[in-house]
């Protein structure tokens, strides 16, 4: 199974999309710290669509790349991690 890519390897448009969604979804510094701790654990993710529910937000991705942030009440698709 793939692992999440490092931020420096993300395509520039994907980085900008994630930053924009982070702002739109009011992701807090505390939320980002929780996300950082999870990423630092070097998690394996499926090659297909997946999402990780952090309680106050969801991170959705496919393979090694996160694709977007969702608010807690938004429905995510793919495999729940």
Average pLDDT over residues 19-24: 92
Q: What is the pTM of this model?
A: 0.88
Q: What is the pLDDT of residue 7?
A: 87
Task: Quote the mean pLDDT of the chain.
Answer: 93
- How many structural domains does the chain have? 1
Q: What is the pLDDT of residue 33?
A: 93
What count of other Cβ atoms lies within 10 Å of the Cβ of residue 32? 13
What is the span of the domain harbouring residue 17?
7-70
The answer to whether the CB of 5 falls within 8 A of the CB of 64 is yes
Domain contains 80: no
Express as a percent the part of the chain with pLDDT over 70: 100
Domain contains 81: no
Over the stretch 58-76, which tens digit does the pLDDT of each residue have?
999 999 999 999 999 999 9
Q: Residue 8 above 90 pLDDT? A: no
Domain contains 12: yes
Domain contains 77: no
């Amino acid at each position: 199974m793939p692992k999440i890519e490092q931020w420096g390897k993300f395509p520039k448009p994907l980085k900008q999309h994630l930053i924009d969604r982070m702002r739109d979804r009011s992701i807090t510094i505390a939320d980002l710290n929780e996300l950082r701790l999870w990423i630092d654990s070097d998690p394996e993710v499926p090659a297909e669509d997946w999402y990780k529910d952090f309680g106050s937000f969801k991170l959705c991705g496919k393979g090694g790349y996160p694709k977007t942030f969702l608010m807690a009440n938004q429905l995510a698709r793919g495999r729940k991690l």
